[in-house]
């Protein structure tokens, strides 16, 4: 019998308590982040499964894999799951939950129990959505457009609507927690101008979650009221106005795009200075541009309605305002690239994702300008051009940022390093797969292929085959990190407290961190991103 080695393992948040109860009743923000990580990964793969079925159907021009009705349900469920159950909670609920208190030097979020409640609400909403899916699904598109959703379809609109309603409250509570935490729980010396840009991005995101989500909740309740009680709110036959639904829905749902993308921008703003070994260029401009995006994001919603019958004057106003969002977005992109200028850039995995983000977000953003232009929008509304545009933002941007962030902070979360070469390989696969999937869709849309149809004319097939081929490559790129993250939890090299030589309070505590994050409350006496004072770790230097 081998003699057991006597080890005194350091206590941290993962090994402090064991058992299912210790997880389901935890109020530790780091454990709740992991609960969210598991749940959103589950929903990501469900949403991804629907996406693959959609792409498989579109491999051939004929509607041969599924019928039109099923296809309608597939793209609806894909959208609902990916938006409400993956993208919106993704970075805030996982990385935000894990990092916000640590980055500002706090022991936990301001309301730990509300944090746990938000996860339970998410799970309840998720179960409702799963139930809705297996008992017939819903076919309105993720947008619930009236009067179709209230007067015509006989699918599960009410259950899906209520599920999103509950998920919305989960999102509101996360936002509320972040706002209060960032205002009230910063460590001594952690002034607003010393906050990491990840925090600024989350602050801006929380503003949207707090102020926008209630409008979506009210709108969905009105849909349910009209459907169940026959109230005439949106149905013109009963004295309602269908465009009122679109105004209310997009008042939340356009800023919701910024709930998805702002946290990713926060991640990129952490990764770029670290792997360029330079202070971020234009700290203040990047910080304030997050707030500007959050505010401007609320002024542009009717660009989703240019061909829906809104007044021309209103369309012109919203068109001009939509162009405005490009300004703070461009400020960010220029500042990130300026940070790299004359920096010591290392092409580590998180940095590859950051590069991917910058490129794909820029393409998504610039094609957004096409859509803000009234003349072009009329031509490409409801075509694959729009599909490609928002996937460049929401997948190319938000998911790239999420994966970059997961790789960057994985050593902190798990205390282990993932295999670097496999990380780089996966990042490359994701980038190639993504572009092969979605770039052809720009062309398809411009040529006039409408979205949301299960059949198409034969001349569109080549581009559709490219897109479907790309989606399978993309799927491999998404499965890989999950596999090697799981592998690394047992076999990965042990990470020290700061494997990247990164600035930020979260790197000054052990990996994985103790339950209350710091042995003693830190006092901040330095500016954010003081890379001139932090030596790069040996491994990063060798790779360069």
Partner 1 sequence: MSEHILSSKLYYGIWIALMVLTVVTAGVATIDLGPFNTIVALLIATSKALLVILFFMHVKYTSEKLTKMVIISSIFWLLLLLFLSLTDYGTRYAGHG
Residues binding partner 1 (CB under 8 A):
179-180, 183-184, 207, 210-212, 215, 243-244, 247-248, 251, 298-299, 301-302, 309-314, 317-318
As measured in angstroms, the least distance from the Cβ of 312 to partner 1 is 8
User: Please, which residue, 82 or 182, has the CB nearer to partner 1?
Assistant: 182
- Taking Cα atoms as reference points, which of 191, 87, 160, 169 lies closest to residue 120? 169
Q: Is the dihedral of CA 23, 28, 34, 39 positive or negative?
A: positive
Q: How far apart are CA 125 and CA 404, in angstroms?
A: 28
User: Please, which residue, 246 or 276, has the CB nearer to partner 1?
Assistant: 246
Q: How far apart are CA 539 and CA 409, in angstroms?
A: 17
Encode burial over 193-202: b for 16+ CB neighbours within 10 A, e otherwise.
Answer: ebbbbbbbbb
Q: How far apart are CA 178 and CA 522, in angstroms?
A: 20
> Is residue 494 helix, strand or coil?
strand
As measured in angstroms, the least distance from the Cβ of 210 to partner 1 is 7
User: Please, which residue, 214 or 282, has the CB nearer to partner 1?
Assistant: 214
Determine contact, residues 331/285, Cβ cutoff 8 Å. Answer: yes
Q: How far apart are CA 313 and CA 515, in angstroms?
A: 56
> Is residue 383 helix, strand or coil?
strand
Q: How far apart are CA 276 and CA 150, in angstroms?
A: 53
| HSE-CB of 403 using CA atoms within 13 angstroms | 32
> Is residue 144 helix, strand or coil?
coil
As measured in angstroms, the least distance from the Cβ of 313 to partner 1 is 4
Q: How far apart are CA 212 and CA 337, in angstroms?
A: 31
| Residue 534 tokens, joined | 């932090």
> Is residue 416 helix, strand or coil?
strand
As measured in angstroms, the least distance from the Cβ of 321 to partner 1 is 8
As measured in angstroms, the least distance from the Cβ of 211 to partner 1 is 5
| Residues whose CB falls within 8 Å of the CB of residue 152, separated by 6 or more in sequence, listed in order | none
As measured in angstroms, the least distance from the Cβ of 171 to partner 1 is 16
As measured in angstroms, the least distance from the Cβ of 427 to partner 1 is 38
User: Please, which residue, 156 or 254, has the CB nearer to partner 1?
Assistant: 254
Determine contact, residues 77/134, Cβ cutoff 8 Å. Answer: no
As measured in angstroms, the least distance from the Cβ of 503 to partner 1 is 28
As measured in angstroms, the least distance from the Cβ of 83 to partner 1 is 21
User: Please, which residue, 158 or 321, has the CB nearer to partner 1?
Assistant: 321
Determine contact, residues 81/167, Cβ cutoff 8 Å. Answer: no
Q: Which residues, in sequence order, are bridge partners of residue 416? A: 494
Determine contact, residues 218/248, Cβ cutoff 8 Å. Answer: yes
In 6-161, beta strands by DSSP E: none
As measured in angstroms, the least distance from the Cβ of 207 to partner 1 is 8
Determine contact, residues 217/249, Cβ cutoff 8 Å. Answer: no
As measured in angstroms, the least distance from the Cβ of 196 to partner 1 is 21
Q: How far apart are CA 282 and CA 524, in angstroms?
A: 21
The CA-based diameter of the chain, rounded to the nearest angstrom, is: 84
Q: Can you give the three-state secondary structure of 273-313, one letter per residue?
A: HHHHCCCCCCHHHHHHHHHHHHHHHHHCHHHHCCCCCCCHH
In 151-216, beta strands by DSSP E: none
User: Please, which residue, 318 or 438, has the CB nearer to partner 1?
Assistant: 318
As measured in angstroms, the least distance from the Cβ of 180 to partner 1 is 7
As measured in angstroms, the least distance from the Cβ of 183 to partner 1 is 5
| Residue 377 tokens, joined | 């929008």
User: Please, which residue, 208 or 444, has the CB nearer to partner 1?
Assistant: 208
């Amino acid at each position: 019998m081998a003699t057991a080695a006597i080890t005194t393992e350091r206590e941290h948040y993962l090994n402090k308590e064991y058992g299912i109860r210790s997880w389901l009743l935890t109020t530790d923000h780091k454990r709740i982040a992991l609960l969210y990580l598991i749940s959103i990964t589950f929903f990501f793969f469900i949403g991804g499964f629907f996406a693959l079925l959609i792409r498989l159907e579109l491999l051939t021009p004929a509607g041969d894999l599924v019928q039109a009705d099923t296809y309608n349900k597939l793209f609806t469920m894909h959208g609902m799951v990916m938006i409400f159950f993956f993208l919106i909670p993704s970075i805030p609920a996982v990385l935000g939950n894990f990092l916000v208190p640590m980055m500002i030097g706090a022991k936990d979020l301001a309301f730990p129990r509300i944090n746990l409640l938000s996860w339970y609400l998410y799970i309840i909403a998720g179960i409702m959505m799963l139930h809705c899916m297996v008992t017939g699904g819903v076919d309105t598109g993720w947008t619930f457009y009236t009067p179709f959703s209230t007067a015509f379809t006989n699918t599960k609109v009410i259950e899906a609507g209520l599920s999103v309603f509950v998920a919305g409250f989960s999102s509101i509570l996360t936002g509320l927690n972040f706002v209060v935490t960032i205002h009230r729980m910063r460590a001594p010396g952690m002034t607003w101008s010393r906050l990491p840009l990840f925090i600024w991005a989350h602050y801006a995101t929380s503003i949207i979650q707090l102020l926008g989500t209630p409008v979506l909740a009210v709108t969905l309740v009105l849909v349910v009221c009209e459907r169940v009680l026959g109230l005439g709110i949106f149905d013109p036959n009963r004295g309602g106005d269908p465009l009122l639904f679109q105004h209310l829905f997009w008042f939340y749902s356009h800023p919701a795009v910024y709930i998805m993308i702002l946290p990713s921008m926060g991640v990129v703003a952490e990764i770029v200075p670290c792997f360029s070994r330079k202070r971020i260029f234009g700290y203040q401009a990047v910080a304030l541009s997050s707030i500007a995006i959050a505010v401007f994001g609320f002024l542009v919603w009717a660009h989703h309605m240019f061909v829906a019958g809104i007044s021309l004057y209103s369309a012109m106003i919203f068109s001009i305002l939509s162009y405005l969002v490009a300004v703070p977005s461009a400020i960010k992109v220029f500042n990130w690239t300026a940070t790299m200028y004359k920096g010591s850039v290392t092409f580590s995995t998180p940095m590859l994702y950051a590069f991917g983000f910058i490129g794909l977000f820029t393409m998504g953003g610039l094609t957004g300008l096409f859509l803000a232009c009234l003349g072009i929008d009329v031509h490409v509304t409801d075509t694959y051009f729009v599909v490609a545009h928002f996937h460049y933002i929401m997948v190319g941007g938000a998911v790239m940022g999420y994966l970059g962030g997961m790789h960057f902070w994985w050593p902190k979360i798990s205390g282990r390093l993932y295999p670097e070469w496999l990380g780089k390989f996966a990042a490359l696969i994701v980038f190639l797969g993504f572009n092969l999937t979605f770039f052809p869709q720009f062309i398809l849309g411009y040529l006039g292929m409408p979205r949301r149809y299960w059949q198409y004319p034969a001349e569109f097939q080549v581009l559709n085959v490219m897109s479907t081929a790309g989606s399978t490559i993309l799927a491999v790129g998404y499965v890989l990190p999950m596999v090697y993250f799981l592998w690394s939890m047992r076999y990965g090299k042990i990470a020290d407290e700061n494997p990247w030589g990164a600035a930020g309070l979260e790197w000054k505590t052990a990996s994985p961190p103790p339950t209350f994050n710091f042995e003693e409350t830190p006092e901040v006496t330095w500016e954010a991103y003081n890379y001139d004072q932090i030596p790069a770790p040996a491994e990063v230097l060798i790779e360069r």
